[in-house]
A and B are shown apart, each in its own frame.
Chain A
Amino acid sequence: MISAYISGGGFLHRLPAGAKLAGLALTSLALLPVSDWRVMGVVLVAVVALYLPLGRAVLPTFKGLRPLLVLAALLLAFHIYLGTAEAGWLAVLRLFAMVLMATLVTLTTRMQDMLDALTPALGPLKVVGLKPQRLALAVTLVIRFTPLLVGLGLVLGEAHLARTGRRGNLRLVAPIAIQALRTADRVAEAIAARGGVDGVPPEARPRGDGPLRRAGPDDEDT
């Protein structure tokens, strides 16, 4: 499963994920009160400049922004039609600045690091049952299941084509879901057999017998 991450060694890559997220949040907030489209234009140029160290690998990302370009053009046209051209330019430039800044963070941060950075922020949710261990497992399962479901879609699509001579459509969604849900129960069992979503509680863990070293309070990332 491909993530959007582009590997590299530059300044942004080495910055910790938490710092990048904080920086993104602060910069986005700082941009909100800006009302001069020319200032926004300068900001946008600065953001694009930050992409340069990433090199050629960024090109697919920029290509992926084409729909946004189309939307921006439509938006601008709409604003001009309504007589608010300057507001239109401001909106469009701000849009691109925000999207490019946020995308930059994604491109330079591994998913695991992002998860580690976001997990403490979700700490307060522990009271309603969102333990970080469960969240990490849930994320892993989504990443694991998604290609399986797409594959299932292809397989069922093939079978459909063979039977009817036509390509599959939304009609395949139900059979995909049914097969997937049958799997879900098996997977839940397999997880339960290896300790469940919460793992094995500390009292039951081995007391240092053999190679399993129990995590102590000073250990990071248990």
Chain B
Amino acid sequence: MRLSRKNLFPIHPEAGSDRASGIVMRDVVLSRGGRRVLKHINLSLTERRIALVGANGSGKSSLVRLINGLLTPDAGSVEVCGQAVTDIGRAMPRLVGFLFQNPDHQIIFPTVAEEIGYGLRQLGVTRREAAARALAVLQENNCSDWAERPVSSLSEGQKQLVCILAVLVMAPRILVLDEHFASLDLATRTSFLARIDALDQQVILISHDLEAVAHYDRAVWLDGGRVVGDGPPAEVLPRYRALALERAGVLTPERL
């Protein structure tokens, strides 16, 4: 069922439905380091492909960290797949996969196969089974000879692929990417975004690359901790771009 803008805030999402996905935020308020970063956010994110845009410091990174419980709101509630985030607790990785900006902060293990297998081991899979599954995943992606390669020998783009595979292997229902492709060149980035598009999961992508998300189902624009734009990218993104260009002319060092 494709939700239209009219029923964006269902009061009673389907409870107990195992295959439900989607995120509901009600009146969320969040402060970090003494500063209000999110002010009364009300969002129901059920579309398959959602882009999150906004200036640095607008609260995007904080918002997505509420989804997988890395941050807890000071007020309001966050529900993922029909359950409150606080109830999901440590089972979260099963529902939400999260990809960070810098692969070097995510990759822990020296070889590719171990890194991919780690998520499975976290879910209780035996070491042998995890190794087999990791190998299978690499084969599916035409890089089976990467298994024993040291991560340090990979290029930036290759490391990003390892990070994505390492998260996808845990089979989450929702995938959140916090500017994951920011440091890649155009060709590599475009290729990755196409891969992401082909996934079954619901995808929430923070991006500064507006062209990349122009075809998404929905764009949410955050500014100063509030939602100031929400709807089809064709409507939201041009307004965001116009405001950004305007702002560029008046940015002082303090506001950088």
Q: Do chains A and B touch in the complex (CB under 8 A)?
A: yes
Contact of B91 among A137, A140, A183, A201 (CB under 8 A): A201
User: Is A46 an interface residue, CB under 8 A from the partner?
Assistant: no
Known contacts A143-B110, A192-B70; 9 additional CB pairs below 8 A are A144-B107, A186-B100, A193-B92, A193-B97, A194-B170, A195-B93, A204-B88, A212-B125, A220-B126
Q: Which residue of B lies closest to A148 (CB)?
A: B104
User: Is B85 an interface residue, CB under 8 A from the partner?
Assistant: no
Contact of A194 among B65, B119, B127, B128 (CB under 8 A): B119
Using a CB–CB cutoff of 8 Å, the interface residues on chain B facing chain A are 65, 68, 70, 88-94, 96-98, 100, 102, 104-110, 118-129, 133, 136, 152, 166-167, 170-171
Give the number of residues in A that approach B within 8 Å (Cβ atoms): 38
Residues on the B chain within 8 Å of A38, using CB: none
- In the complex, the answer to whether B127 meets A221 with C-beta atoms within 8 Å is yes
Chain B binding site: helix, strand, loop or mixed by DSSP?
Answer: helix
Q: Which residue of A lies closest to B163 (CB)?
A: A190
User: Is A53 an interface residue, CB under 8 A from the partner?
Assistant: no
Taking A140-B109, A189-B100, A211-B133 as contacts, is the C-beta distance between A194 and B125 under 8 angstroms?
A: no
- In the complex, the answer to whether A144 meets B109 with C-beta atoms within 8 Å is yes
Complex Cα gap A203–B118 (Å): 19
- 13 A–B pairs (Cβ distance < 8 Å), ordered by A: A144-B107, A144-B108, A183-B105, A189-B70, A193-B100, A194-B118, A195-B123, A196-B90, A200-B124, A205-B94, A214-B124, A215-B124, A221-B126
Residues on the B chain within 8 Å of A201, using CB: 89-91
- In the complex, the answer to whether B126 meets A222 with C-beta atoms within 8 Å is yes
Residues on the B chain within 8 Å of A196, using CB: 90
User: Is A199 an interface residue, CB under 8 A from the partner?
Assistant: yes
Instruction: Give the Cβ gap from B110 to chain A, nearest Cβ, in Å.
Output: 7
Complex Cα gap A71–B42 (Å): 71
User: Is A210 an interface residue, CB under 8 A from the partner?
Assistant: yes
Q: Which residue of B lies closest to A183 (CB)?
A: B105
Using a CB–CB cutoff of 8 Å, the interface residues on chain A facing chain B are 1, 137, 140-141, 143-144, 147-148, 183, 186-187, 189-196, 198-206, 210-215, 219-222
Instruction: Give the Cβ gap from A30 to chain B, nearest Cβ, in Å.
Output: 36
Complex Cα gap A92–B101 (Å): 55
Contact of A200 among B122, B128, B129, B152 (CB under 8 A): B122
